[in-house]
Amino acid sequence: MIIDKLFQSVKEKGHVCVGLDTDISYIPKEFFNKYSCEEEALTAFNERIIDATFSLAACYKVQIAYYEALGLRGMNAYKKTLDYIRKKGGIIIADIKRGDIAKTAEMYAKAHFEGDFESDFITLNPYMGLDSIEPYLTYVKDRNKGLFALVRTSNPGAEDIEYIEGKNGKRVYEITGEKIHEMGRNFLGECGYSSLGGVVGCTHVDEGLKLRKNLHSMFFLIPGYGAQGGKAEDVALYLKDGNGGVVNSSRGILLAYRNHEDGALRFDEYAAKETVR
């Protein structure tokens, strides 16, 4: 199962997920100017980052919004980036956060688990209800795909809805996590984790141990490290023996070169060093 492949990748390489949330402004001008258009520069930048970090990163998370914002040229760069990761044998998390139901969700599943934009995992927003998850499960079962559903996010606004308490005293994010955890029992891999994982931000330390204990077979995609305030000791609470989750870092890795005078033309080297750090 795909979750076993991800678990093994973490075991071999460590728990870092390199986020290719690549804004055009992140690309050094000295590098960008070598190319005739944004699509070529963006693709080439991503490929250099992937080559430099491939032996160090468990997987890659590609945030689609950065590519959609550039129109057709951006989506071509998105496709080429996915193709490049796949060609190298890497694991792709497409960060698309879809949250619709019925036939619409079926089309989202087809769009991102087949064809030009095929990935291994996608992110979903389950807060419209569990029927927003169900249309994707055929791909999890029959096509070796995986999901990461939002449970407790890392943004300050998470408290607006996710922290509302229900009649049983549990918060919305706890109830959501438990429901997805239960749904995921049907897709357990040999590693003991499910291909139906959860997005759990590491910016709320006090809840980390409780979530890890209660959602014991849920593999976590952990945002919030670095630029959003999460620290290494915070992240450790969400892992079990260094596994059971991947920790995403995007800007911290992509922009590591800006901390060095010679960084512009060695951005990939500094990305690798930051991944190790």
Give me the CATH number covering residue 137.
3.20.20.70
More confident residue, 69 or 230: 69
Domain that holds residue 208: 2-276
The structural domain count of the chain equals 1
| Predicted local distance difference test score (pLDDT) of residue 225 | 73
| Predicted local distance difference test score (pLDDT) of residue 218 | 98
d(CA 253, CA 261): 16
For residue 70, give both structure tokens. 């550039």
Question: Residue 229 pLDDT > 70, yes or no?
Answer: no
| Predicted local distance difference test score (pLDDT) of residue 226 | 65
| Predicted local distance difference test score (pLDDT) of residue 60 | 98
Q: What is the pLDDT of residues 111-146, one digit of tens each?
A: 999 999 999 999 999 999 999 999 999 999 999 999
For residue 231, give both structure tokens. 């620290």
Catalytic site residues? Answer: 97
pLDDT tier at 237 (50, 70, 90 boundaries)? confident
* List of residues 6+ apart from 220 with CB closer than 8 A: 197, 198, 199, 200, 212, 238, 239, 244, 245, 246
Q: What is the pLDDT of residues 34-72, one digit of tens each?
A: 999 999 999 999 999 999 999 999 999 999 999 999 999
pTM for this prediction: 0.95
DSSP element (H, E) containing 83: helix 71-88
Helix locations, 89-225, DSSP H: 102-113, 137-142, 158-161, 172-184, 205-214
pLDDT tier at 227 (50, 70, 90 boundaries)? low
